[in-house]
Amino acid sequence: MEKREHLYEGKAKVMFATDDPNLYIQYFKDDATAFNGVKKGTITEKGVVNNLVASKLMTILEAVGIPVHLVRRLNDREQLVRKVQIIPVEVVIRNVAAGSMSRRLGIPEGQPLSRPVIEYYYKADSLDDPLIVRDHALVFGWATEAELAWIESTCLRINDVLIGFFANIGIRLVDYKLEFGRLAEDPGKVVLADEISPDTCRLWDWTTGEKLDKDRFRRDLGGVVEAYREVARRMGLAIES
Ligand code: ADP
Ligand code: TMP
Ligand code: ASP
């Protein structure tokens, strides 16, 4: 596989073309942002840890039949992924009230939800990724009814798998964000894309409640990379450095 031109540099990753028009290389940076880029920093080795964690979680999901963009992890910072057209709707799945849900609705952080809640956000940096309702995605053509129905049922399956996986290593999966895309080679097929990592999840130690995710950066709690490494360690992943 030959790496070609740099296509897009996002806040946490860089996408490169390859000599195969249907494959991209996803490079994980150490850059961290919060509040839509207002807060910026660098978390040493974050890219290496997130690449490992995201590769492992995508592989686990693929093994239970969830279609994913990951082809394989290439090296410490890169993955080979299938090229997709990203559906511009970020899907947040919540099992416990926290973050913007707690702020918006006045629900205490840590209050368990009686069932998973799925929220949609319009992926538009210029608008600060606003919370939307399902009808907005449909009426503005961001996703079709069939795609949303598939995404919703798939998110519930993903949630069951990930809750169990994390519970086994003493971690409460509080909430997380997923992105889906239409395969470049077959746009009728939707797959899970982007990443699942401590950048995109809230992960709390099951017994102490300690935060093991990006909230340590967002809220200036310190020990950011140590928390990310702890997640990788519990997942049985060895960091080569
Ligand atoms: P952001 O755009 O939020 O700053 P990143 O730094 O994570 O995000 O950059 C990765 C970008 O690549 C995101 O916009 C994401 O939606 C997109 N992306 C993720 N997976 C794929 C894929 N398989 N094909 C094409 N684009 C992808
Ligand atoms: P929120 O409570 O701030 O809405 O975040 C919900 C979850 O989504 C949390 O696990 C963090 C994740 N998330 C992202 O991955 N990217 C984002 O841009 C935002 C706002 C949240
Ligand atoms: N997407 C937000 C940003 O990059 C990050 C976050 O709060 O997770 O600013």
pLDDT tens digits, residue range 95-123? Answer: 999 999 999 999 999 999 999 999 999 99
* CB of 37 closer than 6 angstroms to any ligand 3 atom: yes
CATH 1.10.10.10 fits domain 85-222: no
| Residue 108 CA, ligand 1 centroid: distance in Å | 32
Question: 43: CA distance to ligand 3 center in Å?
Answer: 14
Quick: pLDDT tens for 158-191.
999 999 999 999 999 999 999 999 999 999 999 9
pTM greater than the 0.85 cutoff: yes
What whole-number percentage of the chain has pLDDT above 90? 96
Residue 24 in contact with ligand 1 by CB distance below 6 A: yes
Amino acid in position 21? P
Ligand 2 centroid to 198 CA: how many Å?
11
- Testing ligand 2's pocket by substitution, the residue of 125, 131, 200, 231 carrying the most ligand atoms inside 8 A of its CB is 200
Q: What is the pLDDT of residue 3?
A: 80
Cβ-Cβ contacts under 8 Å for 137 (sequence gap 6 or more):
89, 120, 122, 143, 148
The full set of domain ranges for the chain reads 3-84, 85-222
Would you place residue 89 in the very low, low, confident or very high pLDDT band (cuts 50, 70, 90)?
Answer: very high
Q: Which ligand is nearest to the CA of 204?
A: 2
pLDDT digits (tens, 9 = 90+) for 32-83: 999 999 999 999 999 999 999 999 999 999 999 999 999 999 999 999 999 9
The total of other beta-carbon atoms located within 10 Å of residue 89's CB is: 23
Testing ligand 2's pocket by substitution, the residue of 33, 92, 104 carrying the most ligand atoms inside 8 A of its CB is: 92
Q: What is the pLDDT of residue 239?
A: 85
Q: What distance in angstroms lies between residue 103's CA and the mean position of ligand 2's atoms?
A: 13
Residue 7 has pLDDT above 80, yes or no: yes
Neighbours of 180 (CB within 10 A): 24
User: Closest ligand to 105 CA?
Assistant: 2
Q: How confident is the model at residue 129 (pLDDT cuts 50, 70, 90)?
A: very high
Mean of all residue pLDDT scores within the chain: 97
Instruction: For domain 3-84, give the CATH number.
Output: 3.30.200.20
pLDDT at 241: 61
**CA 240 to CA 192: how far, in whole Å?**
27
Tell me which residue has its CA closest to atom 5 in ligand 1.
10
